[in-house]
C-alpha cells in the first residue's frame, strides 16, 4: 500500500510486522516517566524501566534529544489490564532516586498536546510564549510518595554506562531532589516537574529594563497571605508607588491563582506571572513581571525553619548557580543572616551564619548594599530583629545594571519589611580629567610634552609656574587625545572591518602588496587599541594582581566593577532622613566634612614638666639643608606610579615619564620653598575620596576620608618625609611600633600576649583597656603638633615648613567621581599625605609622655613582667592604643583622667562606647563597675588586637574568624573563576609553599593536638573523625593531652564514652601512631620545612621546590617557555604544549571521550590523527607556516617531527640572528596562532587564510 508520508506520520509512530506470539490481551501503551535525574537520562535507563512493564517498542524522539525534560516517554507492549501507575527507584552514584511511571490517558493526551506547544528548552532565542514556562519555582515543596507498585532497579554494575551517557548538571542532594514542584502560570502550564527539568527552564526569565537608563527595580516581600482583599490592595499600592519591573512574594497562602488576581495587584494587563501554590494554609510563592525581555534566572526563596533543610537548600542553589552559569537574581526571605551585625537580641555566632555566608561566597553571589535600614524582620515586642530578607545576584547580573542598591520600606503592620532593588544610572555631574598611562607608548607623546612645556611662558613664583604649566599641559593633552586616539571603539571596528573586507577579497583572488600592507596595518592598529584598553583597565584597577598575575580582562572588569559598586554612594542617612538626590547628597557631604575639618579657636592646655627625647643639633641642621636634585629624584622614584590621579590629573607614572622636561621647573620650586617656606594658593588643594569602612555604609561617619594630593605638593612632602623618617627612631618611644623601620605590627601583639601570660601565671589582678580614638587623624590640633615638635627639638625653619604644609591645605570631596565645593582645612592630618604618619607619631609621643609622667609620680601602676620587674603600661600602633595596669579603682580613675587631658591638649577624643576593658583575676562585679565608670564595654579574654589574637590558643578557630572572613571575601569563587590559568598558577604556587610546612613538636605548648598538622599526612581531626567527636579536649594543645612522669612523657587521652567497633579500631591505629613519641622538655615547637633535610626554610630552596631543574622541565626548557617577551597566558600555553596537556583530539580521546576515527583527523591537513607533535610540526599546513616565518630572516631548514625540535630551531638557530629570548618569543607566538587557527576551524568552521595568519603573527 502506498501511503502519503505526511498522512502516515499523522496517525502512526511506527509500523511493525504482525507477531503471532503477541497475545490478544496485550496492548500498546505510551508510558510517561517523570522524575528521572539528568545523570540517568539515557536510552538504557528508559529501556530498563520500560522492560519492567513489557516489551519496549520505541523511545520517543523528544526523550532521545532531551527536547522535553519534564518527563520521558516510551512505547511498550504490555499485558497489564489496569491503568499503570508505579513508583520506580533508581540507584545513581550511590544515591537512591525516585521516579514515577504512569500510563497516558486520553485526557492527558489533550493536555500533552498543549504542553508540546511550549517545549521546555534552553535556547537563547525563545519567544515570550516559550519563556512563560521558564521559571525557577524551586522552594518549600513536599514530596508525597506512594509505596504501591514500587519497582527497584539497581545499576551498581552499570554506573559507568549511566555516566557515559549523562548530560546536564550533576546530581545533588538538596531539598529540591525527589520533590514534586507544581507551577501555575499565565500560559496555562500545568503539571509536576522534577528539579532537574526546572533548572533547564530557569535559564530564560524576562526582566524589564535592566541596563536601560531608567534602571531596573524589583520588590520582594513576605505578605503573610493574599486571601484578604486588603492585603491584595496593599500589594497593588506598593506596585503603584515603586513601579517595579518584577515582584517576588512569599507566604501567599494561595492554593490557586489566576490572571485577574495578578493583574489587579500589578495594576496592568501587561504582565506575566508564575505561582507555586501553598500547602494548605502555609507557604506559597508568586512571581510577577512586566513583558519587556532580558533573560536571567530568577529564584524566589522562602527559607525553611528547619536548619538541615536550609543547609540542603544552600547546597542545591549553589550547585545550580555554578553548574548552569548565566545571570542569577535570588530574592526573598532566607530565614538566615550572615553575621552577628545582622541580628539583634541574640549573642554568639552560629554555624548557620557561617554556612549561609559560605553559600554566598562559594556561589559567587554579591550581597547588594542595603541602604536606610539594618534589619528587615522585627519581633512584635521589639526584643529581637534580623536581616532575613534580601536580594542576591551573581557578577554577570551585577554587570548588567548601573548602581545596584537595596532599600527597606516601611513594614506597617507586618513583621517583615518589603525590599526594593534599584539599579539606575544617575548623573552626579562632570568628572575630573586625568592623564592616562596608555598614552605613553605613543611614539610622539614624549616629544609633544617637551615641546608644549617649553613653549609655555608663565611669570611668577616657581610654584605658581609649575601649577599653571601643568594646568595648561592638561588642557592641551585633552585635545591631543581626541585628535590622536579619538574614539577607540569606533577605530577598532573600522580597522576590523577593513581587515575583513581584504580577507573576503583574498578568498577570491590574490592580494597585491598594497593590500597586504593595509591588512598588516589594520592588524597592528587593532593590537595597539587592545593594548591601550588593557593599560587603561590596569590604571583603573590599581591591583597587585596585575603585577603578580596576568592581564585577565574578565578579572579586571569584575574586580573594578565590584570596587566601584562598593564605593558608590547611592544616598545618605542624615538626621533620620534618606537623601539620594545628587546635589543634596553633595551638599550634605560638604557640610559634614567642612565642619569636621574646621579648626578650634580656643587655647588648649599644654603638657608641663614632661620630658621628651630630642633630636641632635646635627640632625636639626641636616633636616633643614638645601634640596639636591638627587634627593628630589630619589623621592620621585619612591612614589608609587599607578596611584589614583590627583586634582591636577597626573599620577607619578607621568612625572617619571616626562621628568626630563619637568625637572628644571620642579627643582626651582624646591629651592624657592627652602628659601621662603611658602606655598602658592591652589598648590596644596586635594581631592578627598570616601572609602566605606564597612559593608552597607549609609552614614558619613561610616566613610574613611583619603586625600589625593597634587603631584607637585606630594613630591615635596615625600622628600620631607624621607628626611624625617631618618630621625624619628631616636625620638620615638619603644611603646610605638608603627611606621618606623625595624618596628613591626606584631611587636605590640607579642608584648601584650607576654604581659597577659605573665599576669595569669602569677595570678595578678590586672586590666587591659583597649581604646578606640574617634577619627584620630582628622582631629589633630595643629598648635599641639607644633608644640610637640618644639619639645622634640625641631628647628624653627622645619616647623615653619610643616605648618605651611598644613595651613595652606584645601579640600574638594569626590562624590561618585564628581566634586563638591572647595573648603579650607583648619585641623587634622590628611591620610594620603606622606608626612602624616610621622606627624601622628609625634602626637602619640604626647600621650606616652603623659602616661610616663603619672607613672613616675606614683599615680598609676603598670604591670610588672620579667625578673627585673619591668612595668608596662602603654602600647601604641598609630591610633590603636592599649593601656594596662593593676586592677584597682585608682588606676581606672587615672585612665579616664589621662585620656581626658590628652583630648583637651591634642583634640583626639576617645570613643568610649567602642572601647573595651578586659579583666584578669578580678571579680566580675569589679570589671563591670570599672566599665561603668569608663562608660565602655566589659569583655572577656581572648580578644583581637591589630587583627591578631591576644590570650588565645592559636588553634582556636574562633579567634581567627575575623581574619578568615577577610581572606575568604578576597578569594571569592567568582574571582578565582575569572583568573586565567597563569593567574591560578600564582595562587597554586603560594598554596604549595604553605603545604610544605609542618610542626616539629618540642614541649607541645603551641600546637593543637587535633587541629594542626604535626604527625602523619593529615591533621588528626581528619584522620580520626569518630575519635575527634568523642574527645573531651577538642581544643587542647599537645602538652594538655598527657602528663610528665619524671622526664618521661605519658599520653592521657580522655573520651566522653567508651569506644566500640570502628571507634575502637581508630583508637588502636592512633595509639600505634603515637607509640613511643616523646615530647622534649625545654624545647620550643617550631615550623619545619619538609623539603629540606635540616627543616630550615630559604627562598632559594622554595624556588627549587616549585621549579625543579630536573624532571619534567629542564632549566633550558624553562627559559624557552617562561619568556619575558610574551604575555603569561602564552607562556602557560607553551607549558601545556610541552607537557602534551593541550586538548588535542588524541588527548581528548585518552581522557575517555569517545571519538570516531574520522573525528580524530587533523582539521588542517585531514591526513593524520591530531596530536601535539603532528599539529605543531609534522602537519603540512603547520610546516608551511613555520617555513614562511623562518624565510622572513632568509633561513631554510629541515623541520623536525617533534615540538622540542621546532623550538630548538627557533631558540638556537634563529637565536643566532635575533637572540635566544627573541627566538623563544617567536616560537611561542607562532605556536599560539597555530592553535588559534586550529580552534577556529574546529569550533567555528572558520577558514583563516595563511596570509592573514602571518599578518596576525
DSSP string, 655-714: HHHTHHHHHHHHHHHHHHHHHH----TTTTEEEEEEEESSTT--SGGGEEEEEEE-HHHH
Does 813 share its domain with 841? no
Q: Is 151 exposed, middle or buried (0-12, 13-18, 19+ CB in 10 A)?
A: middle
- DSSP notation for 530-554: HHHHHHHHHHHH--HHHHHS---HH
**CA-based nearest residue to 222, from 134, 317, 335, 311:** 335
DSSP code at position 104 = P
> Is the residue at 969 inside a domain?
no
Instruction: Count Cβ atoms below 10 Å from residue 460 Cβ, excluding itself.
Output: 10
> Long-range pairs for 1191-1197 at CB < 8 Å and ≥24 separation?
1193/1217, 1193/1218
Residue 593 pLDDT more than 90? yes
> Is the residue at 383 inside a domain?
yes
Residue-number span of the structural domain to which 807 is assigned: 426-486+568-597+614-731+782-826
Rounded distance between C-alpha atoms, residue 788 and residue 838, angstroms: 12
Residue indicated by cell numbers 516489551: 55
Highest mean pLDDT among 124-133, 688-697, 700-709: 700-709
Please write the tens of the pLDDT for every residue from 144-161: 222 222 222 222 232 323
> Long-range pairs for 730-735 at CB < 8 Å and ≥24 separation?
730/613, 730/615, 730/619, 731/612, 731/613, 731/614, 731/615, 731/792, 731/793, 731/845, 732/613, 732/841, 732/844, 732/845, 733/613, 733/845, 733/848, 733/852, 735/848, 735/874, 735/875, 735/876
Quick check: 394 and 328 in contact, CB under 8 A? yes
Interhelix angle 351-362/957-970, rounded to 10 degrees, is: 20
| Backbone dihedral region for residue 380 (phi beyond 0: left; psi -120 to 50: alpha; all else: beta) | alpha
What CATH number corresponds to the domain at position 285?
3.60.10.10
The residues with which 383 forms a beta bridge, in sequence order, are none
Percent of the chain predicted with pLDDT > 90: 22
Instruction: Please list, in sequence order, all residues whose beta carbon lies within 8 angstroms of the beta carbon of residue 1218, skipping any fewer than 6 positions away.
Output: 1193, 1226
Report helix, strand or coil for 380.
coil
pLDDT at position 214: 45
pLDDT at position 199: 32
State mean pLDDT over 226-255: 85
Rounded distance between C-alpha atoms, residue 1000 and residue 1080, angstroms: 11
Q: What is the mean pLDDT of the chain?
A: 77
Instruction: Please list, in sequence order, all residues whose beta carbon lies within 8 angstroms of the beta carbon of residue 1241, skipping any fewer than 6 positions away.
Output: 1163, 1164, 1247, 1248
pLDDT at position 942: 86
> Is the residue at 184 inside a domain?
no
pLDDT at position 137: 29
Quick check: 685 and 679 in contact, CB under 8 A? no
Question: Strands 85-92 and 151-154, how do they pair?
Answer: parallel
Residue indicated by cell numbers 597555530: 1234
Residue 220 pLDDT more than 50? yes
Residue 1022 pLDDT more than 60? yes
Instruction: Please list, in sequence order, all residues whose beta carbon lies within 8 angstroms of the beta carbon of residue 341, skipping any fewer than 6 positions away.
Output: 374
**CA-based nearest residue to 585, from 707, 699, 695:** 699
Does 297 share its domain with 355? yes
Confidence of residue 166 (pLDDT cuts 50, 70, 90): very low
Does 725 share its domain with 797? yes
State mean pLDDT over 123-140: 30
pLDDT at position 986: 56
Q: In this predicted model, which residue has the larger pLDDT, 228 or 6? A: 228
Does 266 share its domain with 363? yes
Quick check: 361 and 188 in contact, CB under 8 A? no
Quick check: 1221 and 1123 in contact, CB under 8 A? yes
Rounded distance between C-alpha atoms, residue 713 and residue 697, angstroms: 31
**Which of 1055, 1089, 1123 is the last residue before a domain boundary?**
1089
Q: In degrees, to the nearest 5, what angle opens at C-alpha 608 toward C-alphas 604 and 614?
A: 105
What CATH number corresponds to the domain at position 848?
3.30.70
> Is the residue at 1042 inside a domain?
yes
Quick check: 737 and 609 in contact, CB under 8 A? no
State mean pLDDT over 671-689: 92
Quick check: 271 and 244 in contact, CB under 8 A? no
Number of domains, the chain: 6
Does 640 share its domain with 755? no
Does 765 share its domain with 803? no
> Is the residue at 492 inside a domain?
no
**Sign of the Cα pseudo-torsion (144, 149, 150, 153, in order):** negative
Confidence of residue 1117 (pLDDT cuts 50, 70, 90): low
**Which of 1089, 1118, 1150 is the last residue before a domain boundary?**
1089
**Which of 385, 401, 424 is the last residue before a domain boundary?**
424
Highest mean pLDDT among 11-25, 191-205, 689-703: 689-703
Highest mean pLDDT among 94-98, 493-497, 501-505, 666-670: 666-670
**CA-based nearest residue to 650, from 462, 456, 474:** 474
Does 414 share its domain with 431? no
Q: Which helix (H) or strand (E) holds 810?
A: strand 810-815
Q: In this predicted model, which residue has the larger pLDDT, 697 or 171? A: 697
> Is the residue at 1112 inside a domain?
yes
What separation in angstroms does the CA of 823 have from each of 700, 783, 788, 989? 17, 20, 27, 49
Rounded distance between C-alpha atoms, residue 397 and residue 391, angstroms: 12
pLDDT at position 194: 32
Question: Strands 216-222 and 246-250, how do they pair?
Answer: parallel
Instruction: Please list, in sequence order, all residues whose beta carbon lies within 8 angstroms of the beta carbon of residue 230, skipping any fewer than 6 positions away.
Output: none
Highest mean pLDDT among 311-325, 396-410, 608-622, 1066-1080: 608-622
Does 682 share its domain with 812? yes
> Is the residue at 966 inside a domain?
no
Does 798 share its domain with 737? no
Cell for 797? 625653619
Cell for 644? 589614583
Question: What phi and psi values does residue 942 have, to the nearest 5 degrees?
Answer: -80, 170
Quick check: 999 and 1037 in contact, CB under 8 A? no
The residues with which 703 forms a beta bridge, in sequence order, are 692
Confidence of residue 883 (pLDDT cuts 50, 70, 90): very high
DSSP code at position 1140 = T
Residue 839 pLDDT more than 90? yes
Please write the tens of the pLDDT for every residue from 1205-1241: 888 888 888 888 888 888 888 898 899 888 988 888 8
> Is the residue at 73 inside a domain?
yes
Residue 203 pLDDT more than 60? no
Quick check: 292 and 206 in contact, CB under 8 A? yes
Does 229 share its domain with 269? yes
Report helix, strand or coil for 591.
helix
The upper half-sphere exposure of residue 420, i.e. CA atoms within 13 Å in the direction of its Cβ, equals 21
Does 156 share its domain with 117? yes
Does 770 share its domain with 790? no
State mean pLDDT over 915-940: 93
pLDDT at position 716: 95
Amino acid at each position: 500500500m502506498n501511503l502519503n508520508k505526511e498522512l502516515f506520520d499523522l496517525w502512526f509512530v511506527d509500523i511493525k510486522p504482525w507477531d503471532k506470539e503477541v497475545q490478544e490481551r496485550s496492548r500498546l501503551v505510551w508510558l510517561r516517566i517523570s522524575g528521572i535525574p539528568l545523570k540517568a537520562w539515557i536510552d538504557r535507563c528508559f529501556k530498563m524501566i520500560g522492560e519492567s512493564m513489557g516489551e519496549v517498542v520505541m523511545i520517543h524522539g523528544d526523550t532521545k534529544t532531551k527536547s522535553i525534560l519534564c518527563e520521558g516517554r516510551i512505547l511498550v507492549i504490555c499485558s497489564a489490564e489496569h491503568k499503570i501507575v508505579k513508583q520506580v527507584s533508581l540507584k545513581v552514584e550511590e544515591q537512591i532516586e525516585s521516579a514515577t511511571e504512569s500510563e497516558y490517558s486520553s485526557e492527558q493526551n489533550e493536555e500533552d498536546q498543549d504542553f508540546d506547544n511550549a517545549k521546555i528548552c534552553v535556547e537563547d532565542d525563545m519567544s515570550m510564549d516559550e519563556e512563560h514556562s521558564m521559571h525557577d519555582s524551586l522552594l518549600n515543596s513536599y514530596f508525597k510518595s506512594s509505596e504501591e507498585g514500587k519497582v527497584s532497579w539497581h545499576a551498581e554494575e552499570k554506573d559507568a554506562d549511566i555516566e557515559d551517557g549523562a548530560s546536564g548538571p550533576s546530581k545533588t542532594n538538596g531539598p529540591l531532589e525527589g520533590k514534586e514542584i507544581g507551577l501555575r502560570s499565565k500560559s496555562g502550564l500545568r503539571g509536576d516537574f522534577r528539579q532537574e527539568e526546572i533548572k533547564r527552564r530557569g535559564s530564560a526569565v524576562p526582566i524589564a529594563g535592566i541596563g536601560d537608563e531608567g534602571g531596573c527595580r524589583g520588590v520582594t516581600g513576605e505578605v503573610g497571605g493574599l486571601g484578604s482583599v486588603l492585603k491584595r490592595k496593599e500589594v497593588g499600592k506598593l506596585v503603584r508607588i515603586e513601579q517595579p519591573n518584577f515582584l517576588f512574594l512569599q507566604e501567599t497562602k494561595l492554593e490557586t491563582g489566576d490572571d485577574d488576581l495578578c493583574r489587579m495587584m500589578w495594576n496592568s494587563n501587561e504582565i506575566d506571572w508564575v505561582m507555586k501554590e501553598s500547602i494548605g494554609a502555609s507557604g506559597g510563592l508568586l512571581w510577577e513581571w512586566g513583558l519587556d525581555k532580558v533573560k536571567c534566572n530568577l529564584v524566589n526563596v522562602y527559607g525553611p525553619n528547619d536548619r538541615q533543610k536550609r543547609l540542603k537548600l544552600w547546597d542545591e542553589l549553589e550547585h545550580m548557580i555554578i553548574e548552569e552559569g548565566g545571570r542569577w537574581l535570588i530574592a526573598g526571605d532566607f530565614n538566615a543572616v550572615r553575621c552577628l551585625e545582622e541580628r539583634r537580641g541574640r549573642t554568639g555566632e552560629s554555624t548557620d551564619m557561617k554556612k549561609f555566608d559560605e553559600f554566598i561566597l562559594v556561589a559567587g553571589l554579591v550581597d547588594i548594599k542595603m541602604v536606610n535600614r539594618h534589619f528587615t524582620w522585627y519581633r512584635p515586642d521589639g526584643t529581637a530583629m534580623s536581616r532575613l530578607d534580601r536580594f542576591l545576584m551573581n557578577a554577570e547580573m551585577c554587570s548588567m545594571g548601573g548602581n545596584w542598591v537595596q532599600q527597606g520600606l516601611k513594614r506597617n503592620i507586618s513583621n517583615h519589611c518589603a525590599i526594593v532593588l534599584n539599579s539606575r544610572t544617575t548623573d552626579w555631574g562632570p568628572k575630573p580629567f586625568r592623564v592616562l598611562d596608555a598614552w605613553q607608548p605613543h611614539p610622539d607623546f614624549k616629544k609633544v610634552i617637551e615641546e608644549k612645556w617649553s613653549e609655555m611662558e608663565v611669570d611668577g613664583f616657581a610654584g605658581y609656574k609649575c601649577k599653571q604649566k601643568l594646568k595648561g599641559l592638561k588642557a592641551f593633552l585633552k585635545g591631543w587625545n581626541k585628535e590622536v586616539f579619538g574614539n577607540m571603539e569606533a577605530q577598532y571596528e573600522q580597522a576590523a572591518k577593513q581587515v575583513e573586507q581584504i580577507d573576503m577579497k583574498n578568498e577570491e583572488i590574490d592580494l597585491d602588496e598594497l593590500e597586504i600592507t593595509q591588512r598588516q596595518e589594520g592588524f597592528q592598529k587593532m593590537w595597539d587599541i587592545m593594548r591601550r584598553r588593557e593599560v587603561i583597565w590596569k590604571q583603573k584597577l590599581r591591583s597587585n594582581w596585575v603585577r603578580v598575575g596576568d592581564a585577565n580582562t574578565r578579572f579586571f572588569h569584575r574586580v573594578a566593577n565590584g570596587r566601584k559598586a562598593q564605593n558608590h554612594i547611592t544616598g545618605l542617612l542624615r538626621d533620620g532622613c534618606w537623601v539620594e538626590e545628587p546635589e543634596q547628597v553633595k551638599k550634605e557631604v560638604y557640610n559634614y566634612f567642612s565642619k569636621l575639618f574646621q579648626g578650634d579657636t580656643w587655647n588648649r592646655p599644654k603638657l608641663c614638666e614632661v620630658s621628651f627625647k630630642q633630636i641632635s643639633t646635627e640632625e636639626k641642621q641636616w633636616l633643614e639643608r638645601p634640596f639636591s636634585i638627587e634627593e628630589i629624584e630619589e623621592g620621585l622614584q619612591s612614589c608609587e606610579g599607578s596611584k589614583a590621579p590627583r586634582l591636577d590629573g597626573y599620577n607619578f607614572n607621568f612625572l617619571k615619564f616626562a621628568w626630563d622636561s619637568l625637572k628644571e621647573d620642579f627643582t626651582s620650586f624646591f629651592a624657592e620653598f627652602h628659601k621662603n617656606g611658602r606655598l602658592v594658593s591652589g598648590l596644596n588643594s586635594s581631592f578627598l575620596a570616601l572609602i566605606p569602612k564597612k559593608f552597607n555604609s549609609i552614614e558619613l561617619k561610616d566613610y574613611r576620608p583619603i586625600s589625593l594630593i597634587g603631584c607637585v605638593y606630594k613630591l615635596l612632602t615625600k622628600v620631607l618625609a624621607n628626611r624625617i623618617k631618618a630621625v624619628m627612631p631616636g625620638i620615638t618611644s619603644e611603646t610605638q611600633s608603627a611606621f618606623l623601620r625595624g618596628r613591626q605590627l606584631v611587636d605590640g601583639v607579642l608584648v601584650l600576649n607576654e604581659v597577659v601570660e605573665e599576669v595569669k601565671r602569677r595570678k595578678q589582678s590586672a586590666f587591659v583597656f583597649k581604646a578606640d580614638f574617634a577619627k584620630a587623624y582628622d582631629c589633630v590640633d595643629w598648635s599641639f603638633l607644633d608644640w610637640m615638635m618644639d619639645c622634640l627639638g625641631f628647628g624653627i625653619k622645619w616647623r615653619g615648613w610643616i605648618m605651611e604644609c598644613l595651613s595652606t591645605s584645601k579640600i574638594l570631596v569626590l562624590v561618585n567621581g564628581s566634586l563638591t565645593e572647595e573648603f579650607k582645612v583648619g585641623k587634622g592630618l590628611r591620610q594620603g599625605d606622606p608626612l602624616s604618619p610621622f606627624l601622628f607619631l609625634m602626637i602619640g609621643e604626647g600621650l606616652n609622655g603623659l602616661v610616663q609622667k603619672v607613672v613616675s609620680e606614683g599615680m598609676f601602676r603598670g604591670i610588672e613582667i620579667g625578673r627585673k620587674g619591668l612595668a608596662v603600661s602603654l602600647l601604641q600602633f598609630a591610633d590603636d592604643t592599649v593601656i594596662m595596669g593593676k586592677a584597682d579603682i585608682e588606676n581606672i580613675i587615672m585612665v579616664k583622667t589621662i585620656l581626658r587631658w590628652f583630648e583637651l591638649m591634642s583634640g583626639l577624643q576617645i570613643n568610649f562606647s567602642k572601647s573595651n576593658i578586659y579583666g584578669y583575676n578580678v571579680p566580675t562585679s569589679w570589671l563591670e563597675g570599672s566599665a561603668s565608670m569608663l562608660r565602655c564595654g566589659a569583655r572577656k579574654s581572648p580578644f583581637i588586637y591589630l587583627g591578631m589574637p591576644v590570650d588565645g590558643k592559636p588553634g582556636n578557630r574562633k579567634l581567627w574568624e575575623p581574619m578568615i572572613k577577610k581572606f575568604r571575601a578576597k578569594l571569592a569563587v567568582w574571582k578565582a573563576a575569572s583568573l586565567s590559568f597563569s593567574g591560578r598558577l600564582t595562587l597554586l604556587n603560594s598554596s604549595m609553599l604553605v603545604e610544605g610546612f609542618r610542626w616539629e613538636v618540642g614541649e607541645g605548648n603551641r600546637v593543637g593536638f587535633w587541629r594542626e598538622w604535626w604527625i602523619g599526612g593529615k591533621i588528626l581531626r581528619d584522620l580520626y573523625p569518630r575519635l575527634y567527636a568523642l574527645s573531651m579536649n577538642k581544643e587542647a594543645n599537645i602538652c594538655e593531652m598527657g602528663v610528665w612522669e619524671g622526664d618521661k612523657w605519658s599520653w592521657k587521652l580522655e573520651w566522653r564514652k567508651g569506644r566500640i567497633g570502628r571507634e575502637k579500631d581508630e583508637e588502636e591505629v592512633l595509639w600505634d601512631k603515637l607509640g613511643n613519641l616523646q615530647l622534649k622538655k625545654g624545647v620550643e615547637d617550631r615550623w619545619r620545612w619538609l623539603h629540606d633535610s635540616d627543616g630550615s626554610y630559604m627562598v632559594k630552596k622554595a624556588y627549587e621546590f616549585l621549579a625543579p631543574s630536573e624532571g619534567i622541565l629542564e632549566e633550558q626548557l624553562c627559559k624557552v617557555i617562561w619568556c619575558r617577551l610574551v604575555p603569561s597566558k602564552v607562556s602557560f600555553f607553551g607549558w601545556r604544549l610541552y607537557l602534551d596537556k593541550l586538548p588535542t583530539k588524541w588527548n581528548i580521546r585518552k581522557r575517555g571521550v569517545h571519538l570516531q576515527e574520522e573525528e580524530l583527523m587533523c582539521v588542517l591537513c585531514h591526513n593524520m590523527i591530531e596530536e601535539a607533535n603532528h599539529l605543531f610540526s609534522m602537519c603540512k599546513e603547520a610546516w608551511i607556516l613555520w617555513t614562511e616565518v623562518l624565510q622572513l630572516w632568509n633561513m631554510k631548514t629541515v623541520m623536525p617531527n617533534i615540538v622540542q625540535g621546532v623550538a630548538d630551531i627557533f631558540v638556537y638557530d634563529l637565536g643566532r640572528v635575533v637572540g635566544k629570548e627573541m627566538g623563544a618569543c617567536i616560537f611561542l607566538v607562532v605556536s599560539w596562532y597555530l592553535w588559534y587557527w586550529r580552534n577556529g576551524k574546529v569550533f567555528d568552521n572558520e577558514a583563516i587564510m595563511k596570509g592573514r595568519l602571518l599578518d596576525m603573527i
